Structure 1
Amino acid sequence: MSDRIRRADGDDRVFARDLTRRNMLRYYIDHDLLWQDEAFDAGWQYRDNWLILRDETPIGFFSLSQDARAMYIRELQIDQAWQGQGAGSWAIDQVIRMTRQTRRPSLRLTVFDNNPAQILYARKGLRIVGRDECFLRMQLDLSTAVL
């Protein structure tokens, strides 16, 4: 099987929103938070969105933003049918590569404190650097090569 990414376009938004809702709704319910499609759609238009394809089948996506301090994973979602098969790990590797290419000093994300994805993130080198209510803030510090 062959994994690849491509920039997501407007037509991919519904797939991404529905996947995120399916994957994340249980955490929203656990923490008494309200899921809003409109909030997802608003974020989508301002982020760098990438579709994850396996043999041309969309199996997930990730959304990024960045500032001078870091690259931020805003969303990383893999369809449940494809979880546990390396797609999430592969996607994080792609984001780490992108973070290095843009010379950002760190990669950051926020994850629900009861989401087992934090185990994958820790395996990839991200460390817990803070807690906010029901979230963990995680970060991977990257060294920037000197020219």
Structure 2
Amino acid sequence: MKYSIRPACDADYQYCYRLTKRNMLDLFCRHWGGWVPAEFRKGFNPDNVSMVVMHGRRVGYLSMKCDDQGIYIENLQLSPFLHGRGIGTEILEQLLKRYEREFIRLTTFSDNPARRLYERVGFIITERRDGTLQMVRLPNKANVVDG
């Protein structure tokens, strides 16, 4: 399936909010007691978000930020009709290739079905805490040049 990526804008907030709530509500309720709208709003920064688009329509988004520890994937959400079709794998593999010299981190629920995807593309668990997992994909040492 062919898709494109574009930068997000403030107008994408509602879409990202609804998609994340649709995809994650059960996990949020199970682990954290429910959905907290203010927390999503507080964490949403369109400068960190890229929209996934197919046939001119938004079908998902990737949110990530760079910090002194490397890259942190805040969120990767796809419309349910795309789950299991390889789009998430392709997006992650492109990201891993682009940032192959960086540590790439994420946090996920221990029972999130996406965990299998993260492990399949090379993420390893570095910490378990209250139903969540801290995961990292280590830099490709063969491509890191000592300075």
TM-score normalised over the length of structure 2: 0.89
Q: CA deviation at 1:90?
A: 1.3
* Contact 2:73–2:105 (CA under 8 A) maintained in structure 1: yes
User: Pairwise mapping of residues 66-145 of structure 1 onto structure 2 (< 5 A)?
Assistant: 66-100=66-100, 103=101, 105-143=102-140, 144-145=143-144
Distance (Å, rounded) in 2 between the aligned partners of 1:129 and 1:9: 33
CA spacing shift, 1:19–1:46, aligned 2, 3 Å: closer
Q: CA deviation at 1:57?
A: 2.2
User: Pairwise mapping of residues 15-94 of structure 1 onto structure 2 (< 5 A)?
Assistant: 15-45=15-45, 48-94=48-94
* Contact 1:78–1:88 (CA under 8 A) maintained in structure 2: yes
Q: RMSD across aligned C-alpha pairs, in angstroms?
A: 1.8
Q: In structure 2, what residue type is equivalent to 1:94?
A: Q
| Identity, % of aligned positions | 30
Aligned residues: 144
* Contact 1:47–1:64 (CA under 8 A) maintained in structure 2: no
Distance (Å, rounded) in 1 between the aligned partners of 2:6 and 2:57: 12
Q: In structure 1, what residue type is equivalent to 2:67?
A: D
Q: CA deviation at 1:42?
A: 1.5
* Contact 2:9–2:46 (CA under 8 A) maintained in structure 1: no
* Contact 1:60–1:79 (CA under 8 A) maintained in structure 2: yes
- What CA deviation, in whole Å up to 9, does each residue of 1:46-78 have, x standing for no partner? 751010112322111011112121201111111
Gaps of 5+ in 1: none
Distance (Å, rounded) in 1 between the aligned partners of 2:35 and 2:64: 20
Gaps of 5+ in 2: none
- What CA deviation, in whole Å up to 9, does each residue of 1:16-64 have, x standing for no partner? 0100000000001112433122211111127510101123221110111
- What CA deviation, in whole Å up to 9, does each residue of 1:95-122 have, x standing for no partner? 223434xx5x310000101111100000
Q: In structure 2, what residue type is equivalent to 1:33?
A: G
Q: In structure 2, what residue type is equivalent to 1:120?
A: L
